[in-house]
């Protein structure tokens, strides 16, 4: 079929545009993290394989540190390590340091990781290893911008070199932020996850509802078996 002059000109315009669009899709679309379609069971199994080993490892390291510091304080030892930890965790007293260092039950960390990362499928997790939705306020640190803004404000989240680094950063945040002082005070007294999650109302804009959701996740998935 012979093309008219108008059709020929139209094709000459459209073909470069189509090629340009295809190139853009290839280069920019290929960079988006894509996951294969999974059942709920497969998604949860993948999440557990990725996240729980890191939480186990960090928890064990923090517990050893907590017990060592606790023993040193009982013996009246005065060493540089304790003073450095007080500075790092903004602790003014020995008791505040113990509150900061004691790791909370793993079930809470696992439940928060599941909620904040959408079972390890979120963009923040896949591009930045940010499991817990931890924000960044330091422009000099590695970070990633949220796709949606709040008004004219860009929301930044921390970028971590590994899953383990993200877990350690999460425990550190809960150990030193003034927002979680009541949480720290309670976790020094109890390891009951259902009592502790009620003190995480300031972790999310959901407030008290956040603790209720964490309780449901822990119970439904039997995450307390990891404690």
Query: Is a pLDDT exceeding 90 seen at residue 13?
Result: no
Q: Whole-number mean pLDDT of the chain? A: 87
* Sequential DSSP letters for the chain: -PPPHHHHHHHHHHHHHHHHHHHHIIIIITTS-------HHHHHHHHHHHHHHHHHHHHHHHHHHHHHHHHHHHTT---HHHHHHHHHTT-SSHHHHHHHHSPPPHHHHHHHHHHHTTTTTSHHHHHH--SS--B---TTS-EEE-SS-BTTBPPEEE--SSHHHHHHHHHHHHHH-GGGHHHHHHHTT---HHHHGGGGTTSSTTTHHHHHHHHHHHHHHTGGGG-
Please state, for a pLDDT cut of 70, what percent of the chain lies above it: 85
Q: Are 120 and 131 in contact (CB under 8 A)?
A: yes
Residue 227 pLDDT: 96
Residue 199 pLDDT level (bands cut at 50, 70, 90): very high
* pLDDT tens digits along 145-174: 998 888 889 999 999 999 999 999 999 999
pTM of the model: 0.83
* pLDDT tens digits along 21-35: 333 323 223 334 567
d(CA 82, CA 73): 9
Q: Are 88 and 56 in contact (CB under 8 A)?
A: no
d(CA 194, CA 224): 10
Residue 21 pLDDT: 30
Residue 5 pLDDT: 52
Q: Where are the domains of the chain?
A: 40-119+163-226
Residue with tokens 């295809």, as numbered in its chain: 22
């Amino acid at each position: 079929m012979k093309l008219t002059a108008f059709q020929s000109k139209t094709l000459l315009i459209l073909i470069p545009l189509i090629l340009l669009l295809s190139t853009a899709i290839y280069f920019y679309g290929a960079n988006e993290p894509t996951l294969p379609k999974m059942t709920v069971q497969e998604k949860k199994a993948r999440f557990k394989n990725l996240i729980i080993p890191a939480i186990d490892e960090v928890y064990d390291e923090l517990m050893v540190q907590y017990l060592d510091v606790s023993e040193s304080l009982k013996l009246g030892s005065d060493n540089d390590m304790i003073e450095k930890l007080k500075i790092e965790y903004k602790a003014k007293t020995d008791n505040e340091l113990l509150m900061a260092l004691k790791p909370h039950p793993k079930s809470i960390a696992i439940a928060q990781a599941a909620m904040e990362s959408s079972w390890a499928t979120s963009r923040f997790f896949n591009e930045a290893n940010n499991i817990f939705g931890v924000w960044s306020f330091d422009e000099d640190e590695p970070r990633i911008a949220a796709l949606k803004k709040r008004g004219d404000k860009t929301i930044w989240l921390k970028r971590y070199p590994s899953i383990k680094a993200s877990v350690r950063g999460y425990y550190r945040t809960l150990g030193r932020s003034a927002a979680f002082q009541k949480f720290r005070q309670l976790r020094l007294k109890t390891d009951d996850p259902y009592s502790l999650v009620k003190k995480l109302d300031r972790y999310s804009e959901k407030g008290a509802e956040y603790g209720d959701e964490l309780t449901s996740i822990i119970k439904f998935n039997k995450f307390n078996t990891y404690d």
